[in-house]
Amino acid sequence: MDCKKTGELILTLRKSLGLTQRRLAEIMNISDKTVSKWERGLGCPDVSLLPELSAALNVNIQQLLCGTLSLNDAAEGNMNKSEFYVCPKCGSLTVCSGKAQVSCCGSPLKSLVPQKDDSTLNISDSDGEWYITSEHEMTKGHYISFVAFLTGDDLRIVKLYPEWNMQVRLSSHRHGMLLWYCTKHGLFRKIL
């Protein structure tokens, strides 16, 4: 571990989160002088503190040890590798074409992991389109928030709202993955 590089990264991340040295020290139950020492490259965090520091700065431990943030490989920006994030507080949807660190309403979001088809949707092929319906509850507290169709180079999303009928039409000219998000049960997928 290069103390100088790690210290510079801690400083950069701390400032990007709007934290003072004192606030970071309070979060970690250490002194602000310790944080100052790290940031000046005069010492490195103890190994036992790395998990807590990693969580406080929203960065993984490997990046802390290397003192650099690694960027995604441009070749990995494939639509099939898209990650979906939904904010539990406001319901906002964020989609990234690769791994990302996403936050909303002041909290980091975890990528949704699609579950296998739960047979909630009825899908029929009609004149080159998939007509998708569901008897799923569409109340304010429990509804299908969006339906998406994903291929290697294309993503189409239809946003749905509570108290609307669940009806979606999507072009059916290619194979891909159909995804839908239930506000109570999570993300589901079906290969079409």
Under CATH, what is the fold of the domain 74-191? Immunoglobulin-like (2.60.40)
Task: Identify which of 30-34, 64-68, 147-151 has the greatest average pLDDT.
Answer: 30-34
Alpha carbons 175 and 30: distance in angstroms, whole number: 54
Question: Is the CA virtual torsion 32, 35, 36, 37 positive or negative?
Answer: positive
Asked if residues 182 and 120 have their Cβ atoms less than 8 Å apart, the reply is yes
Please tell me the predicted confidence (pLDDT) of residue 126: 80
Please tell me the predicted confidence (pLDDT) of residue 21: 94
Q: Where are the domains of the chain?
A: 3-66, 74-191
Angle between helices 50-57 and 3-16 (to 10 degrees): 40
What the block records as the tokens of 22 is: 């004192």
pLDDT at 11 over 60: yes
DSSP the chain: --HHHHHHHHHHHHHHTT--HHHHHHHHTS-HHHHHHHHTTS----GGGHHHHHHHHT--HHHHHHTSPPPPPGGG--GGG-EEEE-TTT--EEEESS---EEETTEEEPPP-PEE--S-EEEEEETTEEEEEE----BTTB-EEEEEEE-SS-EEEEE--TTS--EEEEE-SS--EEEEEETTTEEEEEE-
Q: Structurally, what CATH architecture does the domain formed by 3-66 represent?
A: Orthogonal Bundle (1.10)
Which tens digits make up the pLDDT trace of 100-138?
888 899 888 999 999 998 778 999 888 888 899 999 999
